[in-house]
Chains A and B, each alone.
Chain A
């Protein structure tokens, strides 16, 4: 994984509202800031700001539609984040199973 790219993606996703924006975009499909604000507990201005940060990280792309911009998810950087999660999660699943065995064995050995 290229580190600068991954850092930018994770930094953008560190904010819970931005994660909500991504989730809302994935459910609604391409949307305007106004449309997204209607389904989120934040103002249109706040949504616009978060969309700007997400666009900077390459997580969403915008196309002009009339006076507004239509935003959509750009899947590739999300794949980076999701693959990090899958990788780290799978390692913890293995480790926790081994930790349980270790704890049970140590108790029996006492």
Chain B
């Protein structure tokens, strides 16, 4: 039986952590590989949005930032479909860690379902309404 819950991936790329950092924190660069148009304010508490080609929009909240080392963000527990309908989806937390290795940078991704008191909770109804265009 495979291990349950956190999804973990690792990959080494031939570039330094300083070179990789913009690729994981700057909107235009992220959008080049993420599979969605991404807007992000890569500061703790910064907001972001990913927009997929089918019109799905999902908001995110930046939680931790350590330049050239670590970015953590949370997918908020709702998204807007291409038809404009806001639906609940499980929230999850994504951590992207960069480590200098002799071959370049090891990129480690961990995505795990998020629970418990979340920093966005008090604001999320308003955010849902804003996303719905209300």
- Enumerate chain A interface residues (CB-CB to B < 8 A): 1, 3, 6-7, 10-11, 13-14, 19, 22-23, 26-27, 78, 81-82, 84-85, 88-89, 91-96, 98-104, 106-107
List, in ascending order, chain A residues with CB within 8 A of B88's CB: 3
Number of interface residues of B (CB under 8 A): 31
**Known interface pairs A10-B113, A10-B115, A26-B1; A106-B90 also in contact (CB < 8 Å):** no
Instruction: Please classify the interface of chain A as helix (H, G, I), strand (E, B), loop, or mixed, using the class held by over half of its residues.
Output: helix
> A98: which of B33, B90, B112 is its contact (CB, 8 Å)?
B33
CB-defined A-B contacts under 8 Å, sample of 28: A3-B90, A6-B113, A10-B5, A11-B115, A13-B5, A14-B112, A14-B115, A19-B3, A22-B4, A23-B4, A27-B1, A85-B4, A92-B7, A92-B109, A93-B9, A95-B33, A96-B11, A96-B109, A99-B11, A99-B23, A99-B33, A100-B11, A102-B23, A102-B29, A102-B33, A103-B14, A106-B15, A106-B23
